[in-house]
Structure 1
């Protein structure tokens, strides 16, 4: 709970700078309108949690932010630059500033933990100094508490450990923005809480700005500075975790009905 207390104290800082600005975002697949009119601003250093049932467009939104999907309309500005106008090289440069943690962790099964962590350093950042590479690897493993796993294969790790290594590999390039897609899916309650607190600690250590998609209400409680609820391709409620607990919105009530 100490981490949660520190998070709430930090959130009192009045200085704000929006580094993700989305206006009128629309995206359809065939006849299905997945995103209808999405408007969102995320301030530097802020953790924004997005709640919503499956198929509501939560993951589509963050895929549009990094240019993996092309929206049908609207504007996405990251660090002041319009993502929808970027060419391939500009998108590559942008993605070097954004960490994307997939549900599976997306580790390479044929590589050791060390090799998985070295991959973005040598292939993306083109680092060649092995001493500097080793220092980066050790730093992120210390951060996620898995220094002893450096020479293990992903198959030797538990689900929670794979999530931690996936997070370490994403953080190793020191992104300014983190996008989390269901970071606690498939984990037991204790491990889910550990991952949630780790996300919060990484926000403090690396001063990242994050969007966290989750169905896990405890994850939302621990990590969020602000919570948005998505339904039918739109945000229908917004506020702090505590304020939404008192919301009269019927959909919000469904999410918070079992929260004491």
Structure 2
């Protein structure tokens, strides 16, 4: 995989040309006023891969995936999703792109006044325009069963624990069968046991739905469980990439300080 900065630490060999790339970012920059949040972000996400972006809070991780779905427009660089330049897309093209990209927010972003069933029906009727209630019911029940929450189908979000709300949020995102999943701090606010369960569920869903995913986190255990490859971000730049095992042996003091916390 090509990276913009020549001195980025690669703990393993780059992607081979035969790997199909679904997101290609090169030299992405983004500032808010005088603050430069993204300085030179370059990466490729290949089909079927879980790529974790690991770093402390405030380093530009969430801004990166907001650029991917067109919520934010980069100030410079190239950002291609499914071979199309995101910055050049019309509103309608962005709408169609977002159907293919699932975005799991930190909060889960459920509608509080709707039951779990109604929350999951919403994207089926509003996004996919399904009208057959039997088909809708089947999809809702299937995806809830996949996240282990079929019994909660008629409960309100207020009746659920934090971990259960995360599961419902994941189910609602997956119900439209996205090709790419973007996870923004999926384990934030959860206890260690629930965090591990959510991380293992992300891995299970990747295999079941064959999604390509970017997982934004500063949770080291989440990164260890879910990642095929890890990109370490610091101060708006990637400073290292590789597997968990390889990055544990990094000679970069900052990278090593991350991984030594778990040893």
Q: TM-score, normalised by structure 2?
A: 0.93
Q: How far is 1:132 from its partner?
A: 0.7
Residue in structure 2 matched with residue 100 of structure 1 by the alignment? 103
2:22 matches 1:41: no
1:130 to 130, 133, 147: 133
Residue in structure 2 matched with residue 58 of structure 1 by the alignment? 61
2:22 matches 1:19: yes
The Cα offsets for residues 79-136 of structure 1, whole Å up to 9 and x where unpaired, read as 1111010010000000000000000000000000000000001011111010110011
Q: Distance in 1 between matches of 2:214 and 2:174?
A: 15
Q: Distance in 1 between matches of 2:246 and 2:240?
A: 10
Q: How far is 1:253 from its partner?
A: 1.4
Q: How far is 1:14 from its partner?
A: 9.8
Query: Where in structure 1 are there 5+ consecutive unaligned residues?
Result: 1-12
Q: How far is 1:215 from its partner?
A: 1.2
SS of match in other structure, 2:140: helix
The Cα offsets for residues 189-232 of structure 1, whole Å up to 9 and x where unpaired, read as 11111100100000000000000011111110110000011111
Alignment of 1:1-260 (within 5 A): 16-260=19-263
Q: Distance in 1 between matches of 2:210 and 2:258?
A: 29
SS of match in other structure, 1:108: coil
Q: How far is 1:15 from its partner?
A: 5.5
Q: Distance in 1 between matches of 2:189 and 2:17?
A: 36
SS of match in other structure, 2:262: coil
Q: 4+ residue runs of structure 1 moved beyond 3 angstroms?
A: none
Q: Distance in 1 between matches of 2:154 and 2:175?
A: 17
Q: Distance in 2 between matches of 1:205 and 1:211?
A: 16
Query: Where in structure 2 are there 5+ consecutive unaligned residues?
Result: 1-15
Q: How far is 1:254 from its partner?
A: 1.7
Residue in structure 1 matched with residue 10 of structure 2 by the alignment? none
